Amino acid sequence: MGRLSVQAEHILEQWQNHGWLRPLDQAFASFIARYEPAQPLVWLAAALCSYQLKQGHVCLDLAKLQAEPLLTLGLGAELTASQQADVQQQLAAVSLAQWQHALRQSAVVDSGAGHNPLVLSGSRLYLRRYWQYEQDIASQINQRLNQSDNLSAQLPDSVLLPLIARLFQQSKPAEQQLEPDWQQLACALACRSAFTVITGGPGTGKTTTVVRLLALLQLLQLRQQAPLLEIRLAAPTGKAAARLKDSISGAISRLAALKIDGFSQIELAIPVNVSTIHRLLGVRPGSKNLRFNRYQPLPLDILVLDEASMVDVEMMASLLQALPQSARIILLGDKDQLSSVEAGALLAELCKKAVAGDYLPATASWLAKQTGQQIPATLISDKGSLLSQHIVMLRHSHRFGQNSGIGRLAAMVNQGQLDPSVWYQHPAELCLLQEFSTASAGFAQLIVSGADNSTNTKSDGYQHYLAMLRIAPAEPELQDGWARQILHAHSCFQVLAVTRKGELGVEQLNQRIQHCLAKAGLIVPQHQWYAGRPVMVTRNDYQLGLMNGDIGICLPKSVVQSDGSVSVVLRVAFAVAEGIKWVIPARLNAVETVYAMTVHKSQGSEFRHTVLAVPAHDNGLLNRELLYTAITRASARFSLLCAEPSLLGRVVQRQTLRAGGLSLALADDS
């Protein structure tokens, strides 16, 4: 162990000298060293465990660290070949047994029963706080998984069949007739579950499904002469909340138009207002204390959480603990999207078996009786896990048909494949720009008008919303509607970037785009605040009621003065649940220009035309999930600016697999 200790101390010193460790990681290693002065291997493990949080991992997987050090730690393109070889050789030399022996003997590590700062569970090393988050989440989910038998007993055979038939009156499209209606199956499955996950790609009908599900649950209440259920809707960001609100409103209107017997009685009991998770839990400004928690649960019967892939373990643990024990929770999201910026990949972990179905024969039989829909035999398993009986994957996209270019490209990326011919087979939807620079006329044309090198496309670029500035109404009562139109027009076109800084990062792109628009005479950026400047809130502002991710646009607004005169001033317009919120620019302390945003920030959004700018040099940050997320933000057209298309082949093979043990902690799962 002596030689290992010397080696571990050397590795730790090397990482500190190269700046690979954050100051926080170094401080934590120093803290551990005070209690374990003779165990450098434990110091190193502590530093790497802290380092993994920055990479989004809940824990440090020691087995993977020993087998594949570079991949486990996310080190690659930023290291020289010599540095990669050193890291590989040094860390691979420490066996899993050696790591485990040192940690089990340590006074700062336990298996979870104590109060030490580190927890070792098998081959996974956790910071105690994150181990506790994972345990709390597993406990809450397990409790709800085990309620399914009781809920099933309340649903006699075929009781759902006539209700589902009323809610799903429309005949299925021809291409779906050979497949079961997964939306109906999701509704039925959720009726007997206190915990349900509905996953699927863009356009698969997650929102439509959940509205029908909520209507079904309320109809069941009426049938049993019970009070209607208290339902709340939530999303991780203000932007995602606003989009869910629009989707829910549209789905309710479409359902109401069908004139379903009994729907008018429950329509008002299906909410359209959506809260961010922070607002729902009652986050107190400047504090981590929440108004709602395990001691003061949320007053609700059902919680629907959209964009669940964006939720990290800390927030999910807080949310689940704030639910009453009798409450149901329904998670919606795309399992293939980017995971949360913070630690955890909860939706991806929960949906590991979603593609395979993994349904028990008893589940398939029950669903057939309740819906008339037959689950394919290939998706049924005698060894199906309990968790799988609560997960439904919607498999048909209504947005991207079989011949859709965006749909085909997204599916290829998801499968780790990329046929270069796809770009040329769908010129109306897809464009690959190889020869470009941000100083070129082609880039300026793309930004201003949305036009690229395809003669078959027609788009509006950023001129679409900026041209509307010239038709500002003088009447104050008309300005909210005008602002709403501009915000909608702005959301039709969006430039995305892989990173914030560096080549083709957000900061560089925003400067270049602002220059292009000014040169075209669309904006006059003489000062920090100017008409047409789009901004994104970067920190929750509870006084203003604005959340991280909310987007506003600086507009000229007519204001009536006390003497009756009218003056034009700059105000920033935000679309919020109550309507349009006008904010004085000086009150916005945490905002940034957002002609370009990172792919991470774009989650929960949809744009008609999305442009992704990829740097020529592989920085190791672009991966399958990020590319898939960028592609699926586009509903009509996707343009990729990529000087080195050959790197895309490597990118789609680079899959993000975050370390965690949630699936192992769930009931009878493996």
Q: Which residues are annotated as a binding site?
A: 200-207
CB 55 within 8 A of CB 70: no
Both tokens of residue 513?
């785009």
Parallel, antiparallel or unpaired: strands 109-110 and 118-121: parallel
Measured distance CA(350)–CA(663) in Å, rounded:
7
Beta strands in 362-473 (DSSP E): 391-394, 430-433
Measured distance CA(168)–CA(199) in Å, rounded:
19
Count Cβ atoms below 10 Å from residue 493 Cβ, excluding itself.
25
CB 245 within 8 A of CB 272: yes
Measured distance CA(23)–CA(50) in Å, rounded:
10
Both tokens of residue 186?
């999701």
Q: Which residues pair with 431 in a beta bridge?
A: 639
CA–chain centroid gap for 392, Å, is 18
Binding-site residues for ATP, please?
Answer: 200-207
Amino acid (1-letter code) at residue 192: R
Parallel, antiparallel or unpaired: strands 391-394 and 195-200: parallel
Q: What single-letter DSSP state applies at residue 601?
A: H
Measured distance CA(421)–CA(515) in Å, rounded:
34
CB 422 within 8 A of CB 405: yes
Parallel, antiparallel or unpaired: strands 551-560 and 534-537: antiparallel
Where helices occur in 258-339 by DSSP H, the ranges are 263-266, 277-281, 313-321
Give the SS3 label for residue 126: strand
Of residues 578, 579, 571, the one with CA closest to residue 554: 571
Burial of 176 (0-12, 13-18, 19+ CB in 10 A): middle
- Strands ordered across the beta sheet of 391-394: 274-276, 231-235, 302-305, 328-333, 195-200, 391-394
Parallel, antiparallel or unpaired: strands 124-127 and 118-121: antiparallel
CB 361 within 8 A of CB 439: no
Burial of 153 (0-12, 13-18, 19+ CB in 10 A): exposed
Parallel, antiparallel or unpaired: strands 302-305 and 328-333: parallel
Residue with tokens 């809920």: 151
Q: What single-letter DSSP state applies at residue 56?
A: T
CB 212 within 8 A of CB 187: yes
Measured distance CA(260)–CA(229) in Å, rounded:
19
Of residues 605, 183, 176, 592, the one with CA closest to residue 401: 176
Measured distance CA(374)–CA(367) in Å, rounded:
8
Contacts of 388 (CB under 8 A, 6+ apart): 353, 354, 357, 358, 359, 360
CB 298 within 8 A of CB 280: yes
Q: What single-letter DSSP state applies at residue 214?
A: H
